[in-house]
Amino acid sequence: MSKIYGIIKERRKTLGLTQKVVSEKLSIPQSHFSKIESGLSDTRMSTIVDICRVLELEMTLVPNNKIRVVRALMEDSYARMDKPAWVPDEEA
């Protein structure tokens, strides 16, 4: 579970957001967000989903035999990319 919080922290930093900014978007105190991000609060699912929304992440559940593939897919991928992975050809 610490991986989840690690992802949140990494992503937040990658997006260049401070805890203060994120907490404002979530309308919660910075102190509360700090505890969530560090795993010191066993927070609700809905709170994590809200955090994901702010950080442009989506939560999912992966079968154990696929997790390594999924992780490899996402290596260095918490950086925001404004372009989709696939760009359609332009039609003349």
Q: Which is nearer to a second copy, 33 or 78 (CB)?
A: 78
**Per rule CB under 8 A, is residue 66 in the interface with a second copy?**
yes
* Calpha distance 7→31 (Å, rounded): 19
Output the DSSP codes for 2-34: HHHHHHHHHHHHHTT--HHHHHHHHTS-HHHHH
Residues 6-65 close enough to bind a second copy by CB under 8 A: 7-8, 11, 42-46, 48-49, 52, 56-65
Number of other residues whose CB lies within 10 A of the CB of residue 59: 11
**Degrees, nearest 5: CA angle 55-58-64:** 130
Q: Which is nearer to DNA, 25 or 32 (CB)?
A: 32
**Per rule CB under 7 A, is residue 2 in the interface with DNA?**
no
* Calpha distance 48→58 (Å, rounded): 10
Q: Which is nearer to a second copy, 46 or 92 (CB)?
A: 46
Judged by beta carbon distances under 5 to 8 A according to partner kind, the member of a second copy, DNA, none in contact with residue 89 is none
Binding site for DNA (CB under 7 A): 12-13, 18-20, 27-32, 34-38, 40-44, 47
